[in-house]
Amino acid sequence: MSQLIGRVMFIKVRRLIQLSICLLFLIIIFTFYSRWSSTSNDKIQFYDNTFNNPFLPQDAFYKKKSNDIAIEQLNYGRPDLAKYIHLDLKGAPPKANKFYESFFNFLEKLQMGIKGVLIEYEDTLPLQGNLVNISHHGAYTKSDIALIQEAAKKHGLEIIPLIQTFGHLEWILKLERFRSYRDDLNLPMAISPCLNNTYILLEDLLQQTLDMHLDSNIIHIGCDEVILKYSNPACPETDRSISEIYINHIQRIVNIVRKIRPGIRILVWDDILRIDQFINNQKL
């Protein structure tokens, strides 16, 4: 009899424990739900504050409410800001007769206000003369370059050639015959601003590029992510800072481009120009 009573008591205690666990579980769920609802409301307010920031695109998103649920809808940014797609052809350029027509058609059908395509050719241009042997074995022909521009024009897009003129010149400086052009002889990234041959080489490259882009009214001269050491043996001692040497190089490139095609608009990446040694230099 005592065993039976003990068993009954055990069952009742076990059920009481199970009921307590279920109740605790429901309380936890309710608590998390309440906090999640509060956090969601805070996030909506945060987004509203973010897009009131005058330094961000003002029309990137708009919101409406449906059944008390906030819905975000993309509005494709500022309509007054020209938009371009950047294509970097380093390594594996797509076939000119198989890719660009369909790609440009896709951009046109997006209806996102894309104005053109910035093409960073690197070693895919069909160069001649002193530069004839530095192109990739799968480089484009002049007919390919013309085909790309015709396809772009058909879809209302402009082509902006991007030619690196300071850093990111490994495709040239890796070659032994151009080793002496390096800013640091051990590194093939940046070209030295101390050599007259540097500007002869870059003028030849820019001239051939613009000759293949007769309808382009804009050119991009790169100059991003440059680590300038000024260690080429040809570099003389100077009191100028690295930032002044960098700016002087860009000015020389700009003058070369304007000599080739006066009136063309020239673009440059601004990451280097935004660092403190440029911003705080009173001479610049």
Which residues on neighbouring strands pair with residue 69, listed in sequence order? 66
HSE, side-chain direction, 13 A CA sphere, residue 159: 25
CA distances from 232 to 15, 199, 235, 269 (A): 84, 15, 6, 24
β-bridge mates for residue 63, sequence order: 72
Out of 101, 108, 170, 225, the active site residue is: 225
Sign of CA pseudo-dihedral 188, 193, 196, 199: positive
- Alpha helical stretches, state H, the chain: 2-50, 96-110, 142-154, 170-173, 196-211, 242-260, 276-279
225 is an active site residue = yes
User: Helix, strand, or coil here: 58?
Assistant: coil
**Which residues participate in catalysis according to the annotation?**
225
